A and B are shown apart, each in its own frame.
Chain A
Amino acid sequence: MTQFSKVLTKDWFKPGSHTYAGYKANGGYEALPMALKMQPQEIIDAVKASGLRGRGGAGFPTGMKWSFVPKDSPKPKYLCINADESEPGTFKDRLILEQDPHSLMEGIAIASYALGVHTSYIYIRGEYLEQAEILEKAIAECYEAGIFGKSVLDSGWALDVYVHRGAGAYICGEETALLNSLEGKKGWPRLKPPFPAVVGLFDAPTVVNNVETINTVPTIIKMGAANYAALGTPKSGGTRLVCVSGHVNKPGVYEIPMTLSFNDLIHKQEWCGGIPGGRKVKAVIPGGSSAPVLHHSELDVAAEYEALKAKDNMAGSGAVVVMDDSTCMVRALWRISKFYAEESCGQCTPCREGTPWMERILRKIEEGQGEMKDLALLKSVVNAIAPYPPIGLGTTICALGDAAALPVHSFVDKFRAEFEQHITEKRCPFPHPFGILADEGVRK
């Protein structure tokens, strides 16, 4: 393998990387003129050939998603950028928006031209106020530079781009809930089909893409689809971003080769540099809190779509949460379940009723009030939402139900002894079930 070099994050944290001038000085806005000389179909074919997969969580091939948009629709078409990043553990899109917003702008211009789009909305979670302000500035710079407006770089292609703030709802990261929210409704997911590519925003053909996905498009055009694809594996082209948090020495966003294993990512000095205090890894969440947890014996797997899929797991949003051997797995799972109970939108009964039920059972066990039959009850509640394996057997309209169920199956199956210990000892056996604050004093 050739030496790994970053293509997405090479200019992060350079002064002015977030400005039009800074982006341009680093070689930005060279892909857009190239794209405007191509036929729209050629761009779609290039994205297909690049092997780019959606970076929001589902990992669907981007070029294929684009090709579902009907060419002959009399309705206007829309591009919606999903910046509703809220999968627990995920923070890569926030850093893209802060460090490299113009790459997203250039990607929007290229994608819009390829898809026949004249209006694009960036749906950003309401909590990202500072990031929305950065986007507003970047958009204003683009209008001034003739990137957006009546004629993109004098090509005659008109494009308007708007920022639209959400208001606090995890479910709006689900693409059809995002569309409903953008239309001014509560964020309830829609039944599919019809898919957004055919009936999306305002009932018109719509592509919804994650920030990182669109952010990657200029790189693909500039370096060529084949060169980009060659950075990755046959089924997952390019590089990807992972967000590492929890018990590691150097948490943060890393651009990694698709072949990198979790063990190397966590322990190698050039990546996360190991676990604080010389402690050992107990478990790792590989792709956001919705993904099944990995036992410490399973960390040789590559942090990549196909490798994880082969283990009935998922690369998800790239959120890697590392838990050391002082972590209480019951408490960790209880905290995750509390999130889904809070964020279930209330539309489908198994999820609306099941997620708070799971939370109550887990709290009971963590607090030392659990009984052995609770573990079977927990499993039956979870199976009513989404049996596992494989991933994708959910009984609800959207994948939030699956997302709530997957961690429960894996935590209980892989760390059953810990759950049973809580029940038999009638207490949580961990002195610090979670970590401690930096200035809280020495761990007892």
Chain B
Amino acid sequence: MQNVAMNGDQAIALAWKQIDPDVVAAYPITPQTIIVEAFSEFVADGLVNTEYVCAESEHSAMSLCIGASAAGARVATATASAGLAFMWETLYIASSMRLPIVMAVANRALSGPINIHCDHSDAMGARDSGWIQLFGENVQEAYDDSLMAFRIAEHMDIRLPIMTCLDGFIVTHSLERLETLPDDVVKKFVGEFKWKRSLLDIKNPTTMGPFDWTDYYFEHKYQQAEAMKRVPAVVKSVSEEFARLSGRKYDLIEPYKLDDADYALVAMGSTAGTLKEVVDGLRAEGKKVGSLKLRLFRPFPAEELAKTLEGLKGVAVLDRALSIGAAGPIFPELRSALFEAPKRPRITNYIYGLGGRDIKPEELRTVYDQLMHNQGETVNYLGVRA
């Protein structure tokens, strides 16, 4: 175990270095650039055996990943924002082909206007694509998620691609303390890559990516949905194994001081960290509040959320993305999860932090205040000059 100071991007590059994937194909985009640059240095110094391909676009980067994964290689890549948007169609293709590609997404706002800072709109735009989506809070989680991601995606009952999300700039570029695992521990944890069918298995020629008429497409999609259902159990078991190695225990959702809470805020990413500070401050004042960090967004852990949040008086869902014309993306899914709870809380939505707009503890306090006084609209905007 080593204690180092790194930013989120460097931590991911380090995780990849320790895992030494067969192929990395990527295209640089702020704020993911440090991942590919740091990894390039490992390649240049012969510290990895990875076949490293500098793609000429993100669409081609994901296409390269699809080809490599289909050919029986362990594949990693990273992108953000417009890059994720550019590869959008290939995301659906990768998941339909059941390719366990691991991708780090440095969450950044989608254009326009063009903005390089943090919000979750990029990953949210891909939430229907059939990828597993994990959101990390800080540099430690960026590192740990990158290690666990391979085990989750590659599990023989799963075989789905996974994106590990981290907040652009806030986590990608901030130096934080990181506990790393030794190389041999990582190698043993991640294990050898096992392919199910490979294009390079020339004795068993496989046709991949066929055409479906109306008579088969629906069944093929249903298979993907069934595979997604098996993900939460795998995430839990992988997390347990990881906890034994690292001492850090992760879960699909992480409640903070919720046991006797009346009011809670729910968030993903770095804001979940800020929330813990706000909760501590309010608790010191005797307020019965808590928070919940949502780590697994796809598949959506409806059951766990319902069990944890039912019985509370009020819940505010913080969304760092907006489906314009509706609400934030987490809000309707969470509300729906609690719809049939015998004692369901009042649930409201707070859109915040778009385009990297900073979110301050005082602002989060006001949300708790609104909850405690039964105020606020169903959908609110936090921190915008309106």
Asked whether A and B interact, the reply is no
Residues of A within 8 A of B (CB): none
Residues of B within 8 A of A (CB): none
